[in-house]
């Protein structure tokens, strides 16, 4: 999970484009990339040995999306296999930021890249500091 040989930790998840995710032109509808960002984020946390369910149920926290950006580079189409690369860009106090790259597996074409910014919240939806056990794990894989 930490940097090995100077390379930061990058989690990869794979999805295959379903027909329902495309528009009349056969191109993936833009909002689906935000769903895939979430797929990547959940896998990133899982690959670190943690999970959302524990965060929510046992620790009483969530990470609410407060900002998202996406830059579309090339279209994905029905049945393309996609690789979602997820990195942790920042984790300080109550703020966590992830970065994403979505590429077509067959030819490694960059399709979309983006970021999400999250605020750690309690069950009351009020801002909380990231619990120490998560802060330590995130600090170990943070891209510097």
Q: Which of 23, 51, 67, 79 is catalytic?
A: 23
Task: Specify whether 80 is catalytic.
Answer: no
Q: Where are the alpha helices (DSSP H) in the chain?
A: 32-47, 52-57, 132-141
- String of b and e for 100-138 (b: at least 16 CB within 10 Å)? bbbbbeeeeeebbbbbbbbbbbeeeeeebebeeebbebb
Catalytic residue annotation: 23
């Amino acid at each position: 999970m930490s940097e090995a040989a100077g390379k930061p930790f990058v989690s990869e998840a794979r999805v295959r484009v379903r027909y329902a995710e495309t528009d009349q032109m056969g191109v993936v509808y833009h909002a689906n990339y935000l769903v895939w960002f979430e797929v990547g984020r959940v896998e990133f946390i899982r690959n670190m040995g943690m999970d959302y369910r524990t965060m929510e149920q046992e620790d009483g926290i969530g990470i609410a999306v407060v900002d998202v950006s996406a830059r579309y580079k090339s279209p994905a189409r029905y049945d393309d296999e996609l690789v979602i690369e997820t990195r942790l860009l920042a984790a300080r106090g109550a703020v966590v930021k992830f970065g994403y790259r979505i590429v077509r597996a067959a030819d490694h074409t960059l399709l979309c890249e983006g970021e999400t910014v999250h605020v750690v919240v309690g069950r009351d939806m009020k801002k909380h500091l990231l619990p120490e056990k998560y802060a330590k794990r995130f600090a170990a894989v943070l891209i510097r």
